[in-house]
Amino acid sequence: MNHRKSTAWIGALTLLPAGFLIAATTNVAGVPDSEQVSKLLSETKTMAFQLKEDAGIMESFTRMNVSWETHKVSINQIKDHVNALCRQVEKLNEVKATASPWQKAAIDRITPYLDELEGYTMAIIEHLNGETRHTLAEYKDYLEANADYSSDLAAMIANFVDYGKAKDKMQNLGATLEVPAQK
């Protein structure tokens, strides 16, 4: 009999800190996600993947014999993608006040990537236009950096969007199972 009581107390003492941990983490998550921000982030994800594909293709030109005109057409597409993403971030910043903490973090983390992509894209354009003389090695480095940053940006945004979807799914399952809400 005493063995059962001591086991029950040990179990209760073990679960008590876990309950506090769950309550602490759900308190932060208490701010609801903005549907508008989630939709804009999903659109941003699609745009970032388009940029990633084009930057990867252009970087592959360094291993092929393609005309400089093809380089110019490709970098103009990339510039258009970067500019479109910048406009998308402006939209996200306009609704940022309604965003949940994870959505705000996503918005804040996109801008540094775009700043870098704008710089590398402009350096490539300047090289192609003959405005600034870069060595071929530097040019290849800019193409590689553009491909890397665009790939990292697309992956990061996809991870945030996936996190939001998983969070929604978990909340919906909790509602279906009638799991009591944490305070």
Each residue's pLDDT tens digit, 124-178? 999 999 887 788 899 999 999 999 999 999 999 999 999 999 999 998 998 899 8
Contact, 144 vs 59, CB < 8 A? Answer: yes
Per-residue confidence (pLDDT) for residue 3, from 0 to 100: 52
For 18-42, what is each residue's pLDDT tens digit? Answer: 443 343 334 344 789 999 999 999 9
d(CA 13, CA 68): 70
Domain ranges for the chain: 34-176
Positive or negative CA dihedral for 21, 167, 85, 123?
positive
Q: Which of 72 and 4 is assigned the larger pLDDT? A: 72
Is the predicted pLDDT of residue 182 greater than 50, yes or no?
A: yes
Tell the burial category of 15 from Cβ atoms under 10 Å away from its Cβ (0-12, 13-18, 19+): exposed
pTM of the model: 0.80
Contact, 100 vs 33, CB < 8 A? Answer: yes
Q: Which CATH superfamily is domain 34-176 in?
A: Alpha-catenin/vinculin-like (1.20.120.230)
Amino acid code (one letter) for 163:
Y
